[in-house]
Amino acid sequence: MSGGLRCRQCGRAFRPRFAYQTAPGPHGEAGPWCSPTCVPESEGRRQCTECPEVFEPQYAWQVQGQRAFCSKRCAGMDDRAGLCLAVMNQKGGTGKTTTAIHVAAGLAAAGERVLLIDADAQGNVGTSLDASSPGNLFHLMIEGRSLPELSAPVRDNLDLLAADAGLAAIDLRLPTMKGRSRILGKMLAPYRARYDRIVIDCGPSLSLLNQNALCAADGVLVPVSCDYLSLVGVRQVMRTMRNVGKLLDHELELVGLVPTMYDGRRRIDRQVHQALVDRFADRVSPAIRQTTRITEAPSRAKTIFEDAPNSRGATDYRELVNWVIKRPWRVNVG
């Protein structure tokens, strides 16, 4: 691994991304450290009262007498914390993965602890960030391994469970398993309190894996490129969400629709945007304008926030993140 180091604690080879990975330990121990769990514990680290997380308090609300809380969800301070957001459109080419990455990265930059899960066998999330993880959803759902041993930190406050072509084998194994549509939700349940948000990038199909993603999710965000076929994709997603509620008894909420690749100079873009607003009103988010800076950022393994922080693409995605944060995640699908 070019420019890589080997963790002092576990021996794993890795490429440093964060300052703590090459900093001394709390008692002056020499590193480097591949992940926070490998950094030697300091006297200030606490065990969360509500979940298995061991953490070092940063805020006053995290320590209340003899009780300690790793997140606002565990402290009972935010009833939206820990919510799982599926980013989905059954039509490809709508900016789904780009939206999932930037919503997750934007939430993490805002101080929330976020888990980003790639549920698409193409593995574009990891490719876009030049990142990987020790395992993927196959290991979590089929082999029953724990989430902490499979995920990896890729940015401050942002963990990733990446994907690769082997993920396609999940749909071959799931049909024979009991409760086949709820396995992902069951495997994520013990760890949801570790995160303020979980974002799942779903594949562009209606597969058993996507059914699992929807049954694990609290809400759905639908990226919509501004063309006629994307409107057809929206109808498919809405029908799928209703079927999940009716057939699998899991109520899903439409967090919003995200117009992507929007060019206000084109009539079709304006027509599609207006059609979305007419049908969904305030569930339509601020539009993501078309710009080459967004498409170029993955080639440099960066988000648009890192690659071109002052660009209109970064501005648009910041507005989307703020919109998602402020959304009441309790809107029933009509």
The tens digit of pLDDT for each residue in 12-30 reads: 888 887 777 787 776 677 8
Yes or no: domain 83-326 corresponds to CATH 3.60.20.10: no
Nearest to 328 by CA among 218, 193, 249, 185: 218
Token pair 């994907």 is at which residue? Answer: 163
Distant-in-sequence, close-in-space partners of 156: CB < 8 Å, separation ≥ 6: 18, 108, 109
Say what the pLDDT of residue 163 is. Answer: 94
Classify burial at 68, counting beta carbons within 10 Å of its beta carbon; exposed 0-12, middle 13-18, buried 19 or more. buried
Say what the pLDDT of residue 234 is. Answer: 86
Classify burial at 69, counting beta carbons within 10 Å of its beta carbon; exposed 0-12, middle 13-18, buried 19 or more. buried
Say what the pLDDT of residue 111 is. Answer: 87
CA dihedral 261, 284, 218, 290 (to 10 degrees): 10
Q: How far apart are CA 209 and CA 203, in angstroms?
A: 9
> How many CB atoms are located within 10 Å of the residue 241 CB?
23
C-alpha 223, offset from chain centre = 14
List, for residues 204-254, the tens digit of each pLDDT value: 877 899 999 999 999 999 999 988 777 787 888 888 888 888 888 888 888
- The DSSP bridge pattern shows strands 114-119 and 197-202 to be parallel
Cis ω on the peptide bond leading into residue 32 (within 30° of 0)?
Answer: yes
Q: How far apart are CA 279 and CA 298, in angstroms?
A: 33
Q: Is the pLDDT of residue 78 over 60?
A: no
Model confidence at 50, in pLDDT bands (50, 70, 90)? confident
What pTM, to 2 d.p., does this model score?
0.76
Model confidence at 10, in pLDDT bands (50, 70, 90)? confident
Nearest to 222 by CA among 68, 213, 309, 231: 231
Highest mean pLDDT among 58-62, 67-71, 176-180, 316-320: 316-320
Report how far apart, in Å, the C-alpha atoms of 255 and of each of 38, 210, 258 are.
37, 17, 10
Residue type, 68: A
Q: Are 148 and 191 in contact (CB under 8 A)?
A: yes
The residues pairing with 199 across neighbouring beta strands, listed in sequence order, are 85, 116
Tell me the domain boundaries of the chain: 1-41, 44-75, 83-326
Q: Helix 228-247 to helix 208-216 angle, to the nearest 10 degrees?
A: 70
Give the chain's radius of gyration (CA, Å): 20
Say what the pLDDT of residue 33 is. Answer: 80
CA dihedral 20, 25, 30, 34 (to 10 degrees): -40
Q: Are 119 and 137 in contact (CB under 8 A)?
A: yes
Concatenating the DSSP letter of every residue in 213-258 gives HHHH-SEEEEEEESSHHHHHHHHHHHHHHHHHHHHS----EEEEEE
Q: How far apart are CA 65 and CA 149, in angstroms?
A: 31
